[in-house]
Structure 1
């Protein structure tokens, strides 16, 4: 946390034995804190790079006015550049580095880039640009890091820069040593995390089928890591392969939250598109869904229950959407949610005979069981859907004894009951 005591103006010197003490006027009280000690920017060439700062008021009753200045106004934007923080509250600022074609001339710590946060209980004191009239100042250096600069430093053999970046951003270690187990107290990422962080979409596609649910010690999935690094291609690959876009890390953040915090708009668009596909399928909005599917990204996204767009269309009985998603071959009719429900199970649960018949025409396994051992026919019988039960029998479904305390409810919010 950056908190700076203002330097008191020189006063009269008073002798005390063989030492000299300096008497000064009382310093202005520090009413504002910056929770970050540096402006940390993940640099990528020709990209808008962002960093967030949080200001915290220490004053119990009055708003604290602030103004932010930078030594490099042609390179940086601050939003908002000035304002007020309410008593004992916090406010967020975003620092934006305009796209730069080349790496910073000095990194990780910049020699020439600085930020000054002036604060006061009086706006007039801020505009005087002087800390002698009651305003206080917090000075922040700029730290340039991120995957691009780490690789650049490693390729150049700049061990000092590599150490500094890893000290500030230890989660980048697997980019250098993806097979290392533990180094300097940093827990190893799964290989998929490392591939996602460095944007290796080919390796992501190779590793993803067996590791989509893997998490690091902070609860982050590979999709979180790709989103944080701004790797759009890796993000798209993970979404297409069924990564859980609603997975929350140890701080409750989803990959979309992380991408928004970092200002990676292309990644935000990909993840939002996945959510829009799910919403369109749930609502039966065929026209919207067709538009989204033309962009090909976001089709195979899942929610926190492991439900796909096809699951949602099935339980809602949206036959046109089922035909679009499954009939075109873009989604597997045997995909499972976290409890083992396939689209046919959920079509039965939704009670729509037309949707059940449509899925049966596509040749699913009529004897597939959920994690609790329920077949589509057992669900239909237990829920009293006689017409659907007869339809399933006509397509080869055989009676089987239901397990004790058979639970037929899906993980969907639309689940109905347990028998």
Structure 2
């Protein structure tokens, strides 16, 4: 005979309650038709568990109920690996009667009269167990199996409630298990926000993808997930959001009127700014204070962010509600490294164009970059050579202007002077080190200083443009 008694379940489950006595019941059935059976129940962890009838007698073909009690009033479930178990031993009892001391003696000595009938694992279930595992998953071995067991004892609303801490933990397997078990991914918090902002803050790509794939709906006006991702400098999260939701709006403003580009500019996150611009973000949008993204980048002193925005923005001279331009904010906050980009470079180029030598001297004294470039790659020396401003050319060279600097079309200042017929400027440039025969970056023919013409047949593309301020 393999065994004398049979348990009514393969595993005992305890619903854990923090700081309370927890208990559950199970039954053993005597398989003998004519003889009573003595039973001994012990646990692998008697300091934590107790059983109401450690020694008992079960009549023939009868059942007896037992209660397993968690006597350790802990704030956390006493999980163990391998799991604690209840060991069931039995022995035939022909008389059908015996005192507790007799039963204790009966099982104290091993022998063929004692049968090892069953080993029943003890597991903990319920939302408090699952919550504990979410917050301590790095400290628990075999956490996935514990978690799946724990949520098997949770109701639908409990599963849904657990999604919030699970998402915050960034542990993707938990979210999958909760959704598969019946958790509602379209649960809304009291403020109306969805679960997606939580996933973005957790910063886990897999968690975000799981929620999107599971049909988690988003409210653009409430969730502001692009703003969240922009603040975190997470272009990868923004890419997933755009791939998952067709109605993503890069120019959606938050309650302060700020777009994701504003948020990125506040932090100086250049990659985010570039991504926003690549999918239609407007760099010239003003918020409720009248600030453009350029205002924020300039105010905080972020050089690369300012450069990035200037390449696509017309906001350099936009005035906010306090009457401040981006340049003014940079001055106010002592960001002298931005002044040339935001204003002085323009002033220097204009001075070169209109032959304002006093204005140029003042501008250089304020810290203007003598080799700063405009949108076409022209330096002030290009402009002065193009216009034939010889005194301006001298001043710029005396302040360190690069004589052979090349613009976006492959032209040096000497090219500009020669093609516009400014002989004295050209000779001055050569005297100051300009290469008389220079092949440009784009293969423009070499300059022949012996062949000046008042109306050259080959001129710089900008020569036909209207003069710029």
Q: Same fold (TM over 0.5)?
A: no
Which is richer in strand? 1
**TM-score relative to the length of structure 2:** 0.36
* Rg comparison, structure with higher value: 2
Which is richer in helix? 2
**TM-score relative to the length of structure 1:** 0.40
Which structure is higher in RCO with an 8 Å CA cutoff and minimum separation 6?
1
